[in-house]
């Protein structure tokens, strides 16, 4: 099974500034094909706008960018094709958008799981670990940790491959053989 395997799902997980997006992007660009970048980020403020613009400048011109702050399942389904390479960045911002927009997390997560199960393209998803600090003071932050952790577990369970990033170093922590 090569890295470019169609239908293969890879989750890249790690802390902030651990090199997650860069690693997932390099795997995606190696896979090639019809490359779709699905951004879950919303540009609420200048800091986030700068970050989005910087990330966009980092990607090469082969990428088509789609914004999907909430309807991630629909965006993945729309981009999916046997020749597609889909790069979702990132599940943690999606979790945050679901929480702050008071969307039904269970339903949205279930739809993404189903879409991934049926996807024919190569899919790479990036997510943050956010639960390794002390318990946050405020209840909203605790709910966010719960939701983000739940999403990470669900997607990791369905991924063929899970890669942990620490200081830019990739370690494969799950690897499923596929036919």
Whether residue 157 contacts residue 125, with contact meaning beta carbons closer than 8 Å, is answered with no
> Residue 57, annotated ligand binder?
yes
Q: Is the dihedral of CA 110, 1, 22, 162 positive or negative?
A: positive
Name, in order, each residue with C-beta under 8 angstroms of 63's C-beta and a sequence gap of 6 or more: 35, 36, 37, 87
* Least distance between its own copies and beta carbon 166 (Å): 6
- Residue from 32, 82, 118, 133 touching its own copies (CB under 8 A): that is 133
Q: Which residues contact 45 (CB under 8 A, 6 or more apart)?
A: none
User: Residue 168, SS3?
Assistant: coil
Judged by CB under 8 A, which stretch of 35-43, 69-77, 101-109, 126-134 contacts its own copies?
126-134
Are the CB atoms for 136 and 145 separated by under 8 Å? yes
Cα(21)–Cα(2) distance, rounded to whole angstroms?
20
Task: Based on the residue annotation, tell me whether 55 is a catalytic residue of this protein.
Answer: yes
Joined together, the tokens standing for residue 27 give: 């795997």
Q: Is 177 in the site for its own copies (CB under 8 A)?
A: no
**Smallest distance from the beta carbon of 42 to its own copies, in angstroms?**
14
Of residues 23, 55, 103, 108, which has the active-site annotation? 55
> Residue 96 annotated as binding?
no
Residue 11 in the binding site for its own copies (CB under 8 A): yes
Between 85 and 127, name the residue whose CB sits nearer to its own copies.
127
- Tell me how far, at minimum, the Cβ of 34 lies from its own copies, in Å: 28
Interface with its own copies by CB under 8 A: which residues? Answer: 11, 13, 15-19, 47, 127, 129-136, 139, 141-142, 144-146, 148-150, 152-157, 162, 164, 166-169, 171, 173-174
Active-site residues, by number, are: 55
């Amino acid at each position: 099974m090569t890295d470019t395997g169609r239908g293969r799902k890879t989750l890249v997980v790690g802390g902030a500034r651990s090199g997650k997006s860069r690693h997932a992007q390099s795997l995606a660009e190696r896979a090639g094909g019809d490359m779709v970048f699905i951004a879950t980020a919303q540009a609420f403020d200048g800091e986030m706008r700068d970050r989005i613009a910087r990330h966009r400048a980092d990607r090469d011109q082969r990428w088509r960018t789609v914004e999907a702050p909430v309807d991630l399942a629909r965006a993945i389904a729309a981009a999916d094709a046997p020749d597609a390479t889909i790069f979702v960045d990132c599940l943690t911002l999606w979790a945050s958008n679901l929480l702050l927009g008071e969307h039904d997390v269970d339903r949205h997560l279930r739809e993404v799981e189903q879409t991934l199960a049926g996807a024919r393209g190569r899919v790479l998803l990036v997510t943050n670990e956010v639960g390794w600090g002390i318990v946050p003071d405020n209840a909203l932050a605790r709910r966010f940790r719960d939701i983000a952790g739940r999403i990470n577990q669900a997607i990791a369970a369905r991924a063929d491959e899970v890669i942990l990033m620490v200081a830019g170093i990739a370690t494969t922590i799950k690897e499923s053989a596929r036919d």
